């Protein structure tokens, strides 16, 4: 009895075809970074070379998460900006990030309650970036 179950599992988990080396354009990587920014200013607030950290920041600073997608072949994929809020400024909505600002297709701004990537935001992001990932250049 146990032998039959074992053979059945082995049969179901054995690929039908032999997989050759996985092509680099099928390997994707996501880099997630959190930025602190304020109106028109991007400023370094700490460095390993400094003895003291610069804490003189204006009080209107806010944060955003940036998620960048790329393939192992070096092809840039969509860039996702997660911001705190409920609406996207129309200058950054739709396909404008690609057509006006030159970001890869599928790039988008996703507002949510806290500006951090969470499960609900990720489900909304996937619907936007999946078609663009499928259209990424596959040349190596």
Helix (H) or strand (E) holding 29: strand 28-37
Given a cut of 60, whether residue 19 has pLDDT beyond it is no
Q: Report the largest interatomic distance among the alpha carbons of the chain, rounded to a whole angstrom.
A: 72
Characterize the bridge pairing of strands 76-84 and 108-112: parallel
Alpha carbon distance, N-terminus to C-terminus of the chain: 49
> How many Cα atoms are found within 13 Å in the side-chain-facing hemisphere of 2?
0
**Mean pLDDT for the stretch of residues 103-117:** 88
Residue 33: pLDDT band with limits 50, 70, 90: confident
Q: Which residue has the higher pLDDT, 23 or 121?
A: 121
Given a cut of 50, whether residue 51 has pLDDT beyond it is yes
Computed on alpha carbons and rounded to an integer, the radius of gyration of the chain in Å comes to 21
């Amino acid at each position: 009895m146990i032998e039959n179950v074992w053979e059945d599992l082995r049969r179901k988990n054995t690929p039908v075809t032999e997989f050759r080396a996985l092509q680099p354009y099928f390997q994707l990587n996501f880099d997630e970074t959190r930025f602190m920014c304020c109106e028109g200013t991007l400023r370094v607030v700490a460095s390993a070379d400094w003895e003291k950290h610069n804490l003189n920041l204006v009080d209107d600073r806010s944060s955003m998460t940036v998620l960048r997608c790329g393939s192992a072949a070096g092809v840039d994929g969509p860039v996702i900006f997660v911001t705190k809020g409920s609406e996207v400024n129309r200058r950054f909505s739709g396909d404008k990030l690609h057509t006006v600002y030159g970001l890869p297709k599928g790039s988008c701004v996703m507002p949510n309650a806290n500006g951090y990537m969470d499960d609900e935001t990720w489900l909304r992001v996937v619907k936007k970036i999946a078609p663009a990932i499928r259209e990424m250049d596959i040349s190596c």
